[in-house]
Structure 1
Amino acid sequence: MNGTRRTALVIGASRTLGLGLAAEFLRRDWDVIGTVRGRQRTGLHDLAEASRGRLTVESLEMTAPEQIAALRDRLAQHTLDLLFVNAAITRGDIPIGDVPTDMFTEVMITNALGPMRVVELLGPLVAPAGTIGVMSSDQGSIALNTEGGQDLYRASKSALNQLMRSYAARHADSSRTLLLMDPGWVRTELGGPDADLSVEESVPGVAETIERHWGQRGLHFLDHKGQVVPW
């Protein structure tokens, strides 16, 4: 990378991992655009006020395609070095046969379809040598699923990984780097209080992995330590 300041767009940056990533990239001397849902004040707004103009806040409901298109239009004059999509929900550890159809649909849209719509619509804003990253999970790994549980969440992350694989295949001639990132088991609302890592322990590794893989074109499934995650 050259010596000019880089620009990251972090989708889903209002709290926990997304907010931590926005702060970490600021610390690493990036300019950051972060998105929040709705108009309620969040930690990202506080971070923006302290950033001396290096962080701007945009509104985006990622499950609404028209809002993704509107954000693309608002950012049309920007060239992004990094597009990073952070989004996931879980609705509990329910055997798949007991999952209501509306719950299945909600989780799949939020965790798989929504992020890929963002990648499809906003990807063209990323520089030819830039990076598109999506927050995945080792629970999306089929090879690592030896204990079961969290059926719907696992399926949604596996779907996300497969869709990114298809995206990479359709853009095989692209010079961009594509990353599926596993942040580890983190103490967030989703990860729960017994998780191994704090946000502060996970996020620097995610950012470091993104920077270290700059220019390594193609799709990579990696964890916060930069290790390959089995498909």
Structure 2
Amino acid sequence: MTQSQKNALIVGASRGLGLGLVETFLKRGWRVTATQRKPSPDLARLKADALRVETAEIDDDASVANLHNRLASERFDLIFVVAGVATQAHDPLHEVSRAVAAQVYLTNAISPIRFAETFLGCLAPGGSLALMSSILGSVSLNEDGGWETYRASKAALNTLARSFEIRHRAEGVSVLVMHPGWVRTDMGGEEADIDVATSVTGLADVLEARLGEPGAQYLDYRGETLPW
């Protein structure tokens, strides 16, 4: 890695937005470490000297700790936790089993913050921690209901992200909580507003423009601030 080359860690990059972000940052000259839960054929097809692929399970503390040990010598300008789930997102809360609801909360809210705590020391000076949230996590914008367990998990992530930033405020940590838009992915569905390329291009633009800004910001892929 050259001295001026930026370095990113993209967590949850096997497909969809994570994969698109890896491709986008590589094209922009970044060095990228991408994580997958299991071997990803799409990620394996990306041939680049600046790409490193690691396997880790964000819900498993031992797996995250092992990943940290493997990457302990690295310093990242951007650590972006993209991984998330939307299991039974269309079902109302009372129709979702406690086990499924708890797993959605764990993966979408708890695990990203625990990952951030583990990897905070790997963040380079002037770097940012980014977390993939959703506009559905905005409590004040919830006027239509629906997606109840998913909404709640992203609202929890937003709250925990703010608490994380406050806890590390003396260190000047930069936390960027991102909404990617309604994207045509396996999660977003075919009727979504935008494609992956539009979303990840916008996300990368915003992340590069806001890199290192202290505090916690809740932004969409166009750089607009969202209400918590």
Q: Same fold (TM over 0.5)?
A: yes
> Is contact 2:137-2:153 (8 Å) kept?
yes
The residue identity in structure 2 corresponding to 1:86 is V
Q: After alignment, is 59-68 or 167-176 more displaced?
A: 167-176
Contact 1:22 1:34 in 2 (8 A): yes
Contact in 2 for aligned 1:168/1:219 (Cα 8 Å): yes
Count of matched residue pairs: 226
What is the aligned partner in structure 1 of residue 157 from structure 2? Answer: 160
**Residue identity matched to 1:224:** Y
Aligned 8 A contact 1:183 1:202 in 2: yes
- Tell me the residue number matched to 1:57: 53
Q: Which runs of 5+ in 2 are unaligned?
A: none
Query: Which 4+ runs in 1 deviate beyond 2 A?
Result: none
Task: Supply the distance in 1 between the matched residues of 2:80 and 2:212 (Cα, whole angstroms).
Answer: 16
- SS at the partner of 1:121? helix
Q: Is the 8 A contact 2:180 2:221 kept in 1?
A: yes
Paired amino acid for 1:57: V
The residue number in structure 2 matching 1:100 is 97
Look up the match of 1:24. 24
Name the CA distance, whole Å, in 2 between partners of 1:198 and 1:128: 33
Establish whether residue 66 from structure 1 lines up as the match of residue 91 from structure 2: no
Q: 1:222 to 1:41 in 2, by over 3 A?
A: closer
Q: Which amino acid aligns with 1:66?
A: A
Cα deviation, residue 80, structure 1: 0.9
- Counterpart of 2:36 in structure 1 is 36
2:201 maps to which residue?
204
Query: C-alpha separation between the residues in 1 aligned to 2:111 and 2:73?
Result: 23
- Identity across the alignment (%): 41
Shift in Å, 1:43: 1.1
Contact 2:165 2:173 in 1 (8 A): no
* Unaligned stretches of 5+ residues in structure 1: none
Asked if the contact 2:75–2:122 (Cα under 8 Å) also holds between the matched residues in 1, the reply is yes
Which of 181, 185, 193 matches 2:182? 185
Q: Scaled by the length of structure 1, what TM-score is found?
A: 0.95
Whether the 8 Å contact between 1:11 and 1:35 is mirrored in structure 2 is: yes
- In structure 1, what is the equivalent of residue 45 of structure 2? 46
* Mapping of residues 129-144 of structure 1, within 5 Å: 129-144=126-141
Q: Deviation at 1:128?
A: 2.6
